[in-house]
Amino acid sequence: MGREGEGQEVYRDDPGGGLKGTKDIEGPAPRGCSYVKDRFCSPKDVEPFLYFVQLIYRTGWIPFPFCPLRPVIVQNTHDSTVPRLTCRGKARTFYSMQVLSLLRRPFRYRYTNVALVLILINVVCFFFRTLAPREALYYFSMIPARVAKDGAFWQVFTYMFFHADLSHLFFNMLGLFFFGFQVEQRMGSTEFLLFYLLSGLVAGVFSFFVFYFSGAAGIILLGASGAIYAVLLAFAVFFPHAVIYVMGIIPVRAPILVMIYAGIEIFSQVFNVRGGVAHLTHLAGLGAAWVYFLVRLRIDPLSVFFDRRY
């Protein structure tokens, strides 16, 4: 340990003890180990692979959710205690704050009518399904048995662009038309596209595991309903006072309608109402959207629905 007045610094996880399983590092802070990312550790301070990862992380081209630095407290005899980073080659600690900052990094706002493009893609896929129904179902709908045994992992994504019949396509695209355009204007096209595709993908992955391990691996799942339910939730969050006329005559506030739909899906799943409808996929879409708002957008839908944000 350096004597007081020599200007040496002791690196610890906390002021009361050293890092478990490693030795305390005495001496001046290693080069480039300040919290400000103006520098990075040299290869001699970390293992080559971790140095390479940190180098890519520093450039910002690839959003790595980790860095081979470990947060510690620096006790300096000449300065106040300040948070610093010190190089430890085998550090395994993930930075929760850095992960959240990466997950919440906003896109530059732009509006390019992504909702309209998604509608057109769904229409084109429906015509393809009409022309080649067997091939479309076999290759692009989500069949859990094929995903697991044949490695058709793309199906957990492509299933949301194909529909069973014209009415299935019409009502899903009608929902995307009425709610998607307004949500996209509020979020921006890039954010909306990520939100829509990620919600549909999560719903597909969730449905795969549920159906495969419940003995229904041979079912055929298709339709954008999971993503549409996510868009409906987003509309209710952004426009909680909007009134939707169900069947054109019954006025219902958007948050109430979302909760009603969620209740209907839960009831239908528990009591096996409306066979042939993937109720769990709809609920998974709602759940994915809920988590998206909490984690990425830092918005609690319940607080918005009940006006408890402030």
| Ranges of each domain in the chain | 9-103, 114-305
- Residue 10 clears pLDDT 60, i.e. is over it: no
AA letter at 204: G
**Are the C-beta atoms of residues 33 and 86 closer than 8 Å to each other?**
yes
CB atoms within 10 A of CB 226: 29
**Cα distance between residue 47 and residue 244, in whole Å:** 58
3-state secondary structure of 213: helix
The model's confidence at residue 13, banded by pLDDT at 50, 70 and 90, is: very low
Spatial CA neighbour of 285 closest among 212, 217, 225: 225
**45-54, 73-82, 164-173, range with greatest mean pLDDT:** 164-173
Give the number of C-alpha atoms closer than 13 A to the C-alpha of residue 133, restricted to the C-beta side.
5
**113-117, 134-138, 303-307, range with greatest mean pLDDT:** 113-117
State pLDDT tens for residues 253-298: 999 989 998 988 888 877 776 666 788 899 999 999 999 999 898 8
State pLDDT tens for residues 100-118: 666 778 889 999 999 999 9
Strands (DSSP E) contained in 14-105 are 25-27, 69-76, 82-87
> Residue 106: its pLDDT value, please?
84
119-124, long-range: CB within 8 Å, 24+ apart, which pairs?
Answer: 119/173, 119/176, 119/177, 119/180, 121/161, 122/161, 122/163, 122/169, 122/172, 122/173, 122/224, 123/169, 123/173
- Residue 250 clears pLDDT 50, i.e. is over it: yes
3-state secondary structure of 117: helix
Residue range 114-305 in CATH 1.20.1540.10: yes
CB atoms within 10 A of CB 83: 10
Give the H/E segment covering residue 140.
helix 133-140
| Averaged pLDDT of the chain | 74
**Are the C-beta atoms of residues 229 and 261 closer than 8 Å to each other?**
yes
> Residue 103: its pLDDT value, please?
74
